[in-house]
Amino acid sequence: MDRCRIAQLSDLHLGANLAGGKLALPQAKADRRRSEQRQCLSRFASHVRETRPDVVLMPGDLFDSGEPDVDDLNFAINAVNSMSPAAVFIAPGNHDGYSPSSCYNAQSALYQSRGGGPKWGSHVRIFTAQHFETVRAPHRSVVSVTGAAFHRHSPTDRRVLADIPRAAPDGLQLLMFHGALEAYPRAGADKAVLPFTASELARTGYAYAAVGHYHRGGAIVADTARVLGAYAGAPFAASLSDQGVGTWLDLELFPKTPLRTEALHWHRVDDRTIHRIEMDVTGLTDTTALAGRLDELLASQQATSRDLVCLRLTGRLARGIGFRPETVLADRFFHAAVDDATEPDYAIDFEAPLPDEPGLAATSEEVFRWKMRKLYQEAETDEERARIKEAVFYGLDALTLGEIHLR
């Protein structure tokens, strides 16, 4: 055996709610993105058929749920089955964890309810146990794959590699699981599950570990610069946290040869990118200046017309300025959403001692400001104070501008 070729994909999250969250895709665009999400798996399957790797490793979160709808399940099974004769190994993740009712259980009601629907092929091996199991790769007896499934209700702080047996000295021993490398530099906002360290992984002695969970692809490297394993990343950008994602991974392993980063090849598949941009509007006192700052930020992100943009506005917006970038952005990009977290430029010191209550000669605005500051200082919780502060800004909008700007 001169080499072992591996294709790796995880974290596709088929069935994710693309119309929810802060992106809030309209239904027509959500349906289009759903089709593009499926195309990612179809393209990967085509890649596998063309390149004929020895093994395909899928370490978790192929689905967004362990009980996806029948349409997504049938589509995924058909796509995975089309990868034959390559041996496909699946280790369920924290989103699509294995359970008696999951789509990975051939006896589950979901799996059985599809009648004549496609079945997982004989070339597909799904790890169902929470502890690690080792199986030989078909047609390549010197290659073995050790894997484990993420189960529901698993404690997230369990040391995933604590009970794993050391790799056998013969052949090429591959490892796959869904877990969170501590101090991973590309972790983003992903939540940690089944944590492990590079040192723990190095001690297991496996030639390579295919790991799922983090959506930004990257190598797991030992102190010696030897590659221990890698995250393929998510092939599809499904949420605001999925900036800079959209890949799967190919690599080649050679017996008794340390794996280096140049042997890892990430392939871009999702041709839309999510850009999450924060813009401080403080000090920008006219709409031309605001539009100019926005153009600078978009240019720095290299956003194209095919992309999705979520703009978060912060800081103090000058009084009387109505900055509404939604329409302009919608015309320039596949989709745009605006999260307005600005505060109007009303100079109010909520914490300062209150003066005497305004007299009969005071204006409506002066009376409103005094009473709302009094309510703020009497409030007992941060949540209550935040609501009062927001009410002050809306009230002053009405009193000074004659209209309310929703934010």
Query: What residue numbers bound the domain in which 376 lies?
Result: 274-401
Residue with tokens 């395909």: 56
Q: Note whether 91 and 45 are same-domain residues.
A: yes
Q: By three-state DSSP, how is residue 83 classified? A: coil
> Does the pLDDT at position 160 exceed 90?
no
Per DSSP, helices labelled H in 52-168 are 70-81, 109-112
Q: Note whether 72 and 155 are same-domain residues.
A: yes
Residue with tokens 């049938």: 74
Contact, 146 vs 173, CB < 8 A?
yes
Contact, 95 vs 13, CB < 8 A?
yes
CA distance 398 to 230: 55
The pLDDT of residue 156 is: 64
Work out the pLDDT band at 187, boundaries 50, 70, 90. Answer: low
At 68, list the tokens. 């996806």
Q: Note whether 252 and 362 are same-domain residues.
A: no
In a domain, 134, yes or no: yes
Per DSSP, helices labelled H in 276-379 are 287-301, 326-332, 364-378
Q: Note whether 300 and 248 are same-domain residues.
A: no
In a domain, 406, yes or no: no
Average pLDDT score over residue span 151-163? 72
pLDDT tens digits along 5-15: 999 999 999 99
Q: Note whether 26 and 56 are same-domain residues.
A: yes
Contact, 227 vs 221, CB < 8 A?
yes
Q: Note whether 261 and 326 are same-domain residues.
A: no
Q: Note whether 262 and 282 are same-domain residues.
A: no
Average pLDDT score over residue span 109-123? 94
pLDDT tens digits along 78-97: 999 999 999 999 999 999 99
Q: Which residue, of 268, 298, 315, is where some domain finishes?
A: 268
Q: Note whether 355 and 247 are same-domain residues.
A: no
In a domain, 407, yes or no: no
Q: Note whether 313 and 229 are same-domain residues.
A: no
CA distance 185 to 182: 9
Determine phi and psi for 204, rounding to 5 degrees. Answer: -75, -25
> Does the pLDDT at position 244 exceed 70?
yes
Q: Which residue, of 268, 288, 319, is where some domain finishes?
A: 268
Q: Note whether 31 and 83 are same-domain residues.
A: yes
User: How many Cα atoms within 13 Å fall on the side-chain side of residue 385?
Assistant: 11
Work out the pLDDT band at 192, boundaries 50, 70, 90. Answer: low
Query: For residue 104, what are the β-bridge partners?
Result: none
CATH number at residue 100: 3.60.21.10
Residue with tokens 């393209």: 43
Q: Which residue, of 220, 244, 268, is where some domain finishes?
A: 268
> Does the pLDDT at position 36 exceed 70?
yes
pTM of the model: 0.84
The pLDDT of residue 174 is: 95
Q: Note whether 230 and 302 are same-domain residues.
A: no
The pLDDT of residue 44 is: 97
CA distance 387 to 397: 15
DSSP letter (8 states) at residue 261: G
The total of structural domains in the chain comes to 2
